[in-house]
Amino acid sequence: MSHPIFTSTAELAVEQRGPVLWLTITREERRNAMSHGVLATMAQAIHQAQHLRDIRAIVITGAGTKAFCAGADLQSAQAFTTDYSEPHGHLAQLLRAARASTVPLIARVNGACMAGGMGLMSMCDMAVAASHAVFGLPEVKVGVFPAQVLSVLQHLIPRRLLAEMCLTGEPITAAQALQVGLVNYVDDDVDAKLQWLLARLLDKSPAAIRRGLYTLKKVEAMAFEESMAFTESQIALFTLTEDAQEGQKAFQEKRKPNWVGH
């Protein structure tokens, strides 16, 4: 049962399944290519989920088994922007929303993950891929470049591979993606592996995950001393949560903790 604030569209299904919010691109006939509507609705859903404590994770995926997301819809007259006078593009705004999220994002890569689709996958904190999935940045084949995608992809894979993928436009396999750390897991049964991963996340402290993901994202851009100054004050705040007190008490009493999420 989804919250009334969430709205699905013909192109993006927004569905709450227990503590997990599922965002599914439903443009299977277009290989789940991103429209401006898909990007705007996805950004809005991620933003709204931040205020709902019963949502513990967000899964992003595509309909069917052929494609996770093929990137921008090149059949559209304005595939990359709708207004050249507007400094904030739809994909950029989605990547910003994902970056600000303290609800973990997990990509369920059910098929081809190409171009802007690589941005959707890379903006997620974790990724599980089907064995038949392929990953590519084919923008040079149509005369453009994966500019915005670089903002979320550049620190995930080795520089040499990043350059090769950008400059040749040639894809890599799921096995290669796993080898270089682009995804966490590859499995013939992507849903079984996804549920296994979700189970390992959902039984942990909601408060620790929420504040911890905030901390993890903040320190990534900091120099060492700035990072230390930030985290030495953060750790004190962690210990003040009800979950931290419950977790330590449960450990001492040798029982499972009962998380309240505060």
**CA–CA dist 129, 185 (Å, integer):** 6
- Fold for the domain defined by 12-202: 2-enoyl-CoA Hydratase; Chain A, domain 1 (3.90.226)
| Per-residue confidence (pLDDT) for residue 207, from 0 to 100 | 96
Q: Where are the alpha helices (DSSP H) in the chain?
A: 36-49, 90-100, 116-122, 147-153, 159-168, 174-179, 190-202, 206-219, 224-239, 242-252
Q: How many residues does the chain have?
A: 262
Q: How far apart are CA 220 and CA 102, in angstroms?
A: 15
pLDDT-wise least confident of 8-12, 81-85, 257-261: 81-85
Q: Is the pLDDT score of 40 beyond 70? A: yes
Rounded percentage of the chain residues whose pLDDT exceeds 70: 94
pLDDT of residue 84: 61
The pTM for the full model equals: 0.94
Whose CA is closest to 163, among 131, 188, 195, 140?
A: 140
Q: What is the mean pLDDT of the chain?
A: 93
Mean pLDDT of 90-107: 96
Q: Where exactly are the structural domains of the chain? A: 12-202, 206-252
> Could you give the CA distance from residue 44 to residue 208 in angstroms, rounded to a whole number?
24
What confidence tens digit (pLDDT) does each residue in 112-146 have? Answer: 999 999 999 999 999 999 999 999 999 999 999 99
pLDDT value at 5 more than 90: no
- Average pLDDT score over residue span 155-162: 97
**Reduced to 3 states, what is the DSSP secondary structure of residue 108?**
strand
The reported pLDDT for the residue numbered 72 is 87
Q: Is residue 49 within 8 Å of 55, Cβ to Cβ?
A: yes
